[in-house]
Amino acid sequence: MYFFIYLAGFLLLRRIIKTVKLTPLHVKWGSILNIASGIIWVLFIALSKLPDGLDALVSAALLGGILYYFLQEPDFKLVRPYIIAHYPLVGITAISGLVELVSSKFYSENDDYFELAILVGFTWIFARWASSKKQEEEFKLVNQQNIVLDKLVAERTAELQKQRDELQETVKLLQTTQQQLIQSEKLASLGELTAGIAHEIQNPLNFVNNFSEVSMELIDEMGEELEKGDAEEAMAIANDIKQNLEKIRHHGKRADGIVKGMLQHSRASSDVQEPTNVNNLADEYLRLAYHGLRAKDKSFNAEMVTHFDDALPVVNIVPQDVGRVLLNMFNNAFYAVQQKQKSGLAGYKPTIEVSTQKVDKWLEIRVKDNGTGIPDEIKDKILQPFFTTKPTGEGTGLGLSLSYDIIVKAHNGQIDIDSKEGEYTVFIVKLPL
């Protein structure tokens, strides 16, 4: 009857051999397990000579030892539920052997039950094995599905990667286009400036011409004085000439500075922050904006009121960038009052107010105009790129959006807008000190 326990042990070993057959574990375990399965039958024959009862206990202990050994071995983790399924057989065999040893009479009277119990224990193993095999098949199926899924994921990943690369290319293209747009916006505002700059250069040039002309006359006069022998008067005239030459130099430099400023405005931003006097910057660009507009519309006039705080500290900014922001705001302000003036309001006096002041840790520049104002429904949109209220061709719609980038993103500042339609608009630029 204990044949079943050896059969179970043998089948267990065969089953494990089968499981490891196609895995790397085969090298380690294949031959050992084969030999062990042979030894089981040798032991069966050898131990069958043992007295009744004892042979059951020994065979139970043997199978129990095999089970214990496999449970300890991490290589067989996967077949663990199958190994555990042998417990009832081992237990029942051990109990029946014990009973036979203690009371062979009781055993022989009930041996049918014991044998039946052993058969049930043996059958239990195979019932468990069948169900675990089913699980294993399911597991295999899931594994296969996983492989399919992995492949699918890899395909999708490759697709996404490709799309990402394409998008990166597009972003690069957009960035280039944006740079070009910024450049064309700069050129557009430069175009508006040209007339203003021409006027600004005209003044120093007039001085250069006038002082050099007058100096030529003075030299003639000096010659006359020398002929007369009045060296003292000749010296006085020579001094005047010297002063005039200094003035010529001064105004030449002034014109030079204006041209340099113009070049600075048109070339790509250097992004170098330098300590800047904002009052001078605002004054310079206010004049340029005014003259630029005057050049286009000679009948236009506006009162410009400036309240520059003389005690304003210098601030570290990229002057040509902030200059562009100011220019843009002045242009907008002049445009707004010009539009309102065109509507023919009686007694309307176009006024642009520019003020600077230090408020806490901020340097504040306010540009206020009493022009058309900004309607509530477009207040949210005016900072968006390409948004413009001007007729096609007159505005790029990039002015305020670039201003926002310059002040908020590049200088960590703020732009606040306050406006009442038909009454006024105030732009407040705040720069951190």
Partner 1 sequence: MKILVVDDEADVQPLFLQRFRKEIRNNEIEFNFAQSGEAALTFLHDKQSEVVLILSDINMPGMSGLELLTHIREDFDTPPPPVVMMITAYGDEENHRQAMEKGADDFLTKPLDFNLLKEKLKTFTEQ
**The only residue of 19, 210, 266, 414 in contact with partner 1, by rule CB under 8 A:** 210
**The only residue of 277, 301, 384, 414 in contact with partner 1, by rule CB under 8 A:** 301
Smallest gap from Cβ 314 to partner 1, in A, equals 22
**The only residue of 115, 240, 405, 418 in contact with partner 1, by rule CB under 8 A:** 240
Tell me the C-alpha distance between 192 and 318, whole Å: 21
Residues 268 and 320: beta-carbon distance below 8 Å: no
Smallest gap from Cβ 281 to partner 1, in A, equals 16
Residues 282 and 365: beta-carbon distance below 8 Å: yes
By the 10 Å C-beta count (0-12 exposed, 13-18 middle, 19+ buried), 222 is classed as: buried
**The only residue of 232, 272, 299, 377 in contact with partner 1, by rule CB under 8 A:** 299
Smallest gap from Cβ 207 to partner 1, in A, equals 6
Smallest gap from Cβ 397 to partner 1, in A, equals 30
Q: Is residue 425 close enough to count as binding partner 1 by CB under 8 A?
A: no
Radius of gyration of the chain (CA): 50
**The only residue of 31, 146, 209, 412 in contact with partner 1, by rule CB under 8 A:** 209
**The only residue of 48, 177, 206, 264 in contact with partner 1, by rule CB under 8 A:** 206
Q: What is the dihedral of CA 13, 14, 15, 18, to 10 degrees?
A: 120
Q: Can you tell me whether residue 387 is helix, strand or coil? A: coil
Q: Is residue 135 close enough to count as binding partner 1 by CB under 8 A?
A: no
Q: Is residue 243 close enough to count as binding partner 1 by CB under 8 A?
A: yes
Q: Is residue 368 close enough to count as binding partner 1 by CB under 8 A?
A: no
Smallest gap from Cβ 407 to partner 1, in A, equals 26
Beta bridge partners of 359: 362
Q: Which stretch binds partner 1 (CB under 8 A): 8-16, 149-157, 291-299, 356-364?
A: 291-299
* Geometric angle at alpha carbon 46, from 45 and 52, rounded to 5°: 90
- Binders of partner 1 among residues 147 to 166 (CB under 8 A) are none
**The only residue of 203, 239, 316, 412 in contact with partner 1, by rule CB under 8 A:** 203
Q: Is residue 333 close enough to count as binding partner 1 by CB under 8 A?
A: no
Q: Is residue 107 close enough to count as binding partner 1 by CB under 8 A?
A: no
Q: Which stretch binds partner 1 (CB under 8 A): 25-33, 126-134, 205-213, 340-348?
A: 205-213
* C-alpha dihedral sign at 46, 50, 56, 61: negative
* Token duo for residue 88: 């009832």
- Counting other chains too, the contacts that 86-90 makes at CB distance below 8 Å and 24 or more residues apart are 86/8, 86/12, 86/125, 88/120, 88/121, 88/124, 89/4, 89/5, 89/8, 89/63, 89/118, 89/121, 89/122, 89/124, 89/125, 90/5, 90/60, 90/63, 90/64, 90/121
Chain contacts with partner 1 (rule: CB under 8 A): 199, 202-203, 205-207, 209-211, 214, 218, 240, 243-244, 247, 250-251, 294, 298-299, 301, 303-304, 306
